Amino acid sequence: MKRKGVIFLLAVIFTLTWLSIASAESDDPWEVPDENPRIIIGKDAKMPVFNAGEKIKLKIPVENTSRTDATDISVSLSAADAGGFPFLVDEMSITQYASRLTAKSRNIYIFDLTVPRTVKPKIYTIDVTVNYNTYYGYSGSISDTINVKIENSSKQPNISVMGVEMAQDRLPSGDSSSVKINIKNDSDIVLKNIELKLDGFDANTINLDKWPAIQHIGQLSPGRTAGAEYRLYTDAKLEKGIYPLNLAIKYQDEYGQEYTQENTVYLPVSGKAGGDDEYTPRLIVDDYSYPGEYVQPGLAFPLNISFYNTSAAEEIGNIKVSINSDGDVFSPVGSSNSFFIDKMAAGARLEKNLTLKPKTDADNGNYNISVDLQYQDSKGTQYNEKELISIPVNQNIRLVVTDVQTPTEAFVGTPTAVSIDFYNTGRSVIRNIIVTTEGDFEIQDGSSYLGNLEAGKENYFDVTIIPRNEGIAEGKIILQYEDNIGQPFMVEKTFQINAVTQPPFEGPGMMPEEMPAEKSFNKWFIAAGGIILLAVIAAVVIRRRRRRLSEELELDE
C-alpha cells in the first residue's frame, strides 16, 4: 500500500508540473501580443541607377522586425517632393499587395515601371508607404524615402524652324502669295499633335488671305522635317524690307507631355508688285555655340558666332562687330572686343571664332553678351543693329571629405560607430547630398539624404555597423551629390574594421546568452511555483497518512 501511494503521489506531482510548464510555454493564438508590427523600409538597399527610356524593375525591401505578423500588406510609391516622379504613373504599377509579412521576416516587393525618355537626369527621392493590419484588429502605416538615380543621354523635345519657302525670292506687294514654313524635330523623341500658329498680322502690311492661322502636323519622328502652308496678302503700299511674323509652336512628346515654343519668321517684301527694287539689308546673329552646357569661371572657352545677311539682293560691307558682356564677366583672349569684316554677299552667312574667359569670381547664372553690328549697303548708307546671346556660368563645386573615423577596437556582434566629416570649400551650393554605406558587416541606417550644403559650410555623417566575424572587414562610405545644373558627382571613402571576439563577462548573476531573460524567468517562475505547491500538498498528505497509521496501531494494541 505504501509503495502504491508513493507512486501515485509522484505521478500526480509530475503531471501537474508538466502542465504548469506547458501552460507557461504555450501561446494563445487569440491573445493580443505584447507588441505591434515594426516595419522597416529599404534597409541596407543600394541606390538603384536606371536609364531613361527603359522598362525597369524597382526592388523595395520591407522588413518586419517584431514578433508579430502583419497582414493585408500594401506598398505604394509616390513623389517625395517637387522634384517630380521619374516613372510613368499608373495606379496598378505603383502599388503592390501581399497577404502577410510574418514576424522576423523580410520581403522584396518588385515594381515593373517605365522611365520616360524625357525625364530629367538627376537623383530623385521617392516616398514608399506601407499599410498593414493584424489578426487582432490593429492597423498601421509607415512611410520612408528611397533615392533613385536616373541617367539620360537623349536629346530632349525641340522643334527648329528651318526657314520659309516662297515661289519667288520675295513677296510681291499688292498680291497674294503662298509660303511654306518648314520645321524639324531636333530631338530623339517622337513628337505629335504639333500645332503652328502664325501671328503678328496687320491689314496695312501682311495679312492672311482667307486662310487659317493655325495649322496642324500629326506626328514628326526624330530628325524628320515637315512644312505648314499659309497664303498671305501683302499690301500694295508696303515699303520694301523684311517683315517679321510670330510663330507659336505647341506639341506633345510620346508620353503626352505638352511643350510650347515662340519663334520669329522673317518675310522679305519687294515693295512693289513684280518690282525689282532692292530693299533694306539686315545683318543678324542667326546662331552661336560653345562646348558643353555651361562655361566655368577662370577657364577660357571658344565661342563660335554665325552672322547672316538677310537681304536676298543687297551686298553689305565695312562691317564692325563689338562684343560686350554684362558686368564685364567675359573678356576676349588674344584679341580686342571688336573685329572687322570686309563684306558679305546678299543672303550670305559668315562664322567667326572667338576665345573668351569668364571672371574667376563670377557667380553662377546666365550672362548676356551684346553683339553690336555696324555696316553699310552699296550706297554707303550706315546701319546699326544689336543682338543678344546668353551663356551660363557654373562654378566648380569642391567638396572636401575627411577619412573615415573608426574606433581603435571593435567586437564581433557589438554595435560600432564610424563617421566622416565633409566641407564645401567652393563658391557654389552643393545639392542633393546622399550618403550610403557598404561593407562586410551588418549596417544600421546606412543611407541618408542630407539635402544641400551652402558654400563655406560643413556637415557630418555617422553610421552604426555590427561586425559579423573576427578579422578585418572592409567597407566604404559613398557620397553622391549634384551641382547647380544637376550634373552628378561621387566620392568614395574606404575603411577597415578589425573585429575580435569580446571576452565573456564573469560577474555574478550573469544570465545565459541564449536565454531570453523575461520570458525564461516567467516560465521557470511558474514551474517552480507549481513544484513548491505540489510539495506542500504532498507533505500534508504524507503527514495525514502517518497520523492515520499511528492511530490504527494504537487501536491494535
57-107 per-position pLDDT tens digit: 999 999 999 999 999 999 999 988 766 889 987 766 789 999 999 999 999
pLDDT digits (tens, 9 = 90+) for 171-218: 888 889 999 999 999 888 999 999 999 999 988 889 999 999 999 999
Q: Are residues 403 and 390 in the same domain?
A: no
Q: Are residues 357 and 250 in the same domain?
A: no
Given a cut of 60, whether residue 244 has pLDDT beyond it is yes
- Tell me, yes or no, whether 539 lies in a domain: yes
Q: What is the pLDDT of residue 33?
A: 81
Residues 446-458, mean pLDDT to the nearest whole number? 86
Q: What is the pLDDT of residue 5?
A: 57
Q: Which of 20-29, 120-129, 145-154, 215-224 has the highest mean pLDDT?
A: 215-224
Beta strand pairing status for 49-51 and 139-151?
A: parallel
Give CA–CA dist 414/467, Å, rounded.
7
- Amino acid found at 439: G
Given a cut of 80, whether residue 1 has pLDDT beyond it is no
- Tell me, yes or no, whether 416 lies in a domain: yes
pLDDT digits (tens, 9 = 90+) for 494-544: 999 988 887 765 555 444 444 444 444 454 445 555 555 555 455 545 555
pLDDT digits (tens, 9 = 90+) for 378-430: 888 888 888 888 888 887 788 999 999 988 888 888 899 999 999 998 878 88
Using DSSP, state whether 349 is helix, strand or coil.
strand
Last residue of a domain, one of 223, 244, 279: 279
Q: For the whole model, what pTM was predicted?
A: 0.54
Q: What is the pLDDT of residue 19?
A: 52
Give φ, ψ of 524 to 5 degrees. -75, -25
Q: Are residues 385 and 447 in the same domain?
A: no
Residue 258 binned pLDDT confidence (cut-offs 50, 70, 90): very high
Percentage with pLDDT > 90 across the chain: 34
Compute the mean pLDDT over every residue in the chain, rounded to the nearest whole number.
Answer: 82
User: Which residues are CB-neighbours of 119 under 8 A, at least 6 positions away?
Assistant: 52, 84, 86, 150, 152
Q: Are residues 115 and 143 in the same domain?
A: yes
Using DSSP, state whether 334 is helix, strand or coil.
coil
Q: Can you give the length of the chain in residues?
A: 557
Q: Are residues 304 and 238 in the same domain?
A: no
For the domain that residue 57 is a member of, what is the CATH number? 2.60.40.10
Q: How many CA atoms lie within 13 A of 280 on its CB side?
A: 11
Residue 321 binned pLDDT confidence (cut-offs 50, 70, 90): very high
Q: Are residues 164 and 131 in the same domain?
A: no
- Tell me, yes or no, whether 472 lies in a domain: yes
DSSP label of 167? S
End-to-end CA distance of the chain: 21
Q: Are residues 391 and 320 in the same domain?
A: yes
- Tell me, yes or no, whether 40 lies in a domain: no
What is the helix (H) or strand (E) element at residue 529, kind and residue range? helix 517-556
Q: Are residues 177 and 274 in the same domain?
A: yes
Give CA–CA dist 264/181, Å, rounded.
11
Q: Are residues 326 and 428 in the same domain?
A: no
Give CA–CA dist 141/539, Å, rounded.
57
Structural domain harbouring 217: 155-279
- Tell me, yes or no, whether 377 lies in a domain: yes
- Report whether 171 contacts 234 (CB < 8 A): yes
What is the number of domains present in the chain?
5
Q: What is the pLDDT of residue 103?
A: 92
- Strand-pairing partners, residue 367, are 391
Q: What is the dihedral of CA 417, 418, 421, 422, to 10 degrees?
A: -130
- Tell me, yes or no, whether 36 lies in a domain: no
Residues 345-349, mean pLDDT to the nearest whole number? 86
Q: Is 256 buried (19+), middle (13-18) or exposed (0-12) by CB count in 10 A?
A: exposed
Q: What is the pLDDT of residue 514?
A: 43
Of residues 132 and 291, the one with the higher pLDDT is: 132
User: Which residues are CB-neighbours of 8 under 8 A, at least 6 positions away?
Assistant: none
Give CA–CA dist 477/495, Å, rounded.
8
Last residue of a domain, one of 225, 247, 279: 279
Q: What is the pLDDT of residue 515?
A: 43
Give CA–CA dist 94/60, Å, rounded.
12
Using DSSP, state whether 279 is helix, strand or coil.
coil
Dihedral over Cα of 157, 158, 159, 160: its sign: negative
Least confident of 23-27, 450-454, 487-491, 547-551: 23-27
Residues 242-265, mean pLDDT to the nearest whole number? 90
Residue 375 binned pLDDT confidence (cut-offs 50, 70, 90): very high
Q: Angle between the 2-25 and 517-556 helix axes, to the nearest 10 degrees?
A: 160
Q: Are residues 496 and 538 in the same domain?
A: no
Q: What is the pLDDT of residue 539?
A: 54
Residue 28 binned pLDDT confidence (cut-offs 50, 70, 90): low
Q: Are residues 470 and 356 in the same domain?
A: no
344 grid coordinates: 558679305
Give CA–CA dist 253/188, Å, rounded.
10
- Tell me, yes or no, whether 32 lies in a domain: no
Q: What is the pLDDT of residue 538?
A: 55
**Nearest of 421, 432, 418, 437 to residue 477 by alpha carbon:** 437
Q: Is 22 buried (19+), middle (13-18) or exposed (0-12) by CB count in 10 A?
A: exposed
Last residue of a domain, one of 94, 120, 151: 151
- Tell me, yes or no, whether 527 lies in a domain: yes
**C-alpha distances in angstroms, 398 versus 337, 338, 454?**
32, 36, 11
**Nearest of 284, 307, 303 to residue 386 by alpha carbon:** 284
Q: Are residues 269 and 293 in the same domain?
A: no
- Amino acid found at 467: P
